[in-house]
Amino acid sequence: MTPHTTDSRPILLLSNGHGEDLSGALIGRALAERGLTVDALPLVGHGRAYEQAGIRLRGRTREYSTGGLGYTSAFGRLTELVQGQVIYLLSRLLLLLRIAPRYQLILVVGDVIPVIAAWLSGRPTATYLVAYSSHYEGKLRLPWPCAPCLRQRRTRAIYSRDALTAADLTGQLQRSVYFLGNPFFDGALSPSEPLKGHPSQRLGLLPGSRLPEALHNLELMLRVLERLPEPLRPAERLGLHAALVGKLTPQEVAPLASRLGWKLQLEGEERCSLQRGPLQLQLEWGRFAAVVQQCDLLLSMTGTAAEQCVGLGKPVLQLVGDGPQFTANFAEAQRRLLGPGLFCASGPTGSEEQLDGTAALLEQLLARLLSDGGWRAALQQLGRERIGSGGGAARMAADLRTHLDG
């Protein structure tokens, strides 16, 4: 298709969550590489992914403890109300309506809320429905009024997060819906330096990105590691690596580790580890790609990061926490979305049943990785089906370029 001649107005990225911001930033960077000007209006959180990509943010942003995911629990919804998140969201929507005429296209990355907001703006839109998948139930039931908004002529293009959803929505909406890959997966493919040591296998810990939840999640993970069988404890047998966000500093981790019997060991200016007997957990900041690429198994309490691991063909062992994000409901929905490469032990959060069961599952999965080459191949095929291949941001940006106003 021959691109339309575009005017000088920029494109506005409209997203509503941490993972959505990451996808939006990757698409925005790909659009900028094609000579287009891009701004971003995150409806939830500070939009740090946009800042890191050099994309201008509109308006003053705020962070909330639920991370925009309060729908996973009644407590989360109540927390949002108490913290004033609903009022903040309304202020962001008013800002959108005020600035929308300055943009030639609004690109929605998320779910029904930004879809409605973009429709209210009256501007041409494109939509990446990263929050919805037909893998949840077999047939996607879009919340009202998402479908009527997407059928509007002003909606220039619709992208889905997997091929099954694209086929399902193409039939439901009676218009083409495309699966071009998942931009968030591109973030897991960047080049990475080797992790420390040369163990037989590696285990990666993904406690999440939001505080204080990530700190509580790390505590549960340390309690699981304490239950590992003796043969897995030596560092030369199993390398242990925790991918931590910058906000989860050594000063935050040290008191928790000490209370659980772990010692913080400084290893130069940029490295440190936690030690408990023969167990040694390397703390990795800014090395997410290295952890997910080089670890054989991931112990995860995350959303987008777990999806990136599945895309890489890695098995994921879930550990249910107290939330507000990674609750039992969230974990169960994630297993339906991502398929048989995800595993989870039963039992209440923090109970002996859960922690012992997780350690036992961890041992079984590591053994299977060593003995079953066919399983590795099946996991890679699962990743291609549920997540797709790399380069989704570039393909989406190239297609969007063809839908701009003249």
Mean pLDDT of 308-323: 96
CATH number of the structural domain 201-386: 3.40.50.2000
- Domains of the chain by residue range: 11-187+390-401, 201-386
Mean pLDDT of 171-193: 93
Mean pLDDT of 50-61: 91
Q: Which pLDDT score, from 0 to 100, does residue 120 have? A: 95
Reply yes or no on whether the pLDDT at 125 is more than 90: yes
Q: Which pLDDT score, from 0 to 100, does residue 81 have? A: 45
Q: Which pLDDT score, from 0 to 100, does residue 72 have? A: 47
With beta carbons less than 8 A apart as the criterion, state whether 242 and 214 touch: no
Q: Which pLDDT score, from 0 to 100, does residue 78 have? A: 47
Planar angle of CA 327, 328, 330, nearest 5 degrees: 65
What are the backbone dihedrals phi and psi of residue 261, each rounded to the nearest 5 degrees, phi first? Answer: 90, 15
Q: Rounded distance, CA 185 to CA 208, Å?
A: 16
Q: Rounded distance, CA 21 to CA 51, Å?
A: 10
CATH number of the structural domain 11-187+390-401: 3.40.50.2000
Q: Rounded distance, CA 313 to CA 376, Å?
A: 7
Mean pLDDT of 44-68: 80
Reply yes or no on whether the pLDDT at 279 is more than 90: yes
Mean pLDDT of 48-66: 83
Mean pLDDT of 44-55: 90
In this chain, the answer to whether the domains covering 11-187+390-401 and 201-386 adopt an identical fold is yes
Instruction: For residue 1, name the pLDDT band (cuts at 50, 70, 90).
Output: very low
Average pLDDT value over all residues in the chain: 90
Q: Report the C-alpha dihedral over residues 399, 403, 405, 406, rounded to 10 degrees.
A: 80
Mean pLDDT of 356-371: 98
Q: Rounded distance, CA 184 to CA 130, Å?
A: 10
Q: Report the C-alpha dihedral over residues 237, 239, 240, 242, rounded to 10 degrees.
A: -170
pTM of the predicted structure, to 2 decimals: 0.88
- % the chain with pLDDT above 90: 80
pLDDT tens digits for 213-267?
Answer: 999 999 999 999 999 999 999 999 999 999 999 889 999 999 999 999 999 998 7
Indicate the helix (H) or strand (E) that contains 281.
Answer: strand 279-285
Task: Look up residue 218 and give its amino acid.
Answer: L
DSSP-derived secondary structure letter, 120:
H
Reply yes or no on whether the pLDDT at 406 is more than 60: no
Mean pLDDT of 284-301: 96
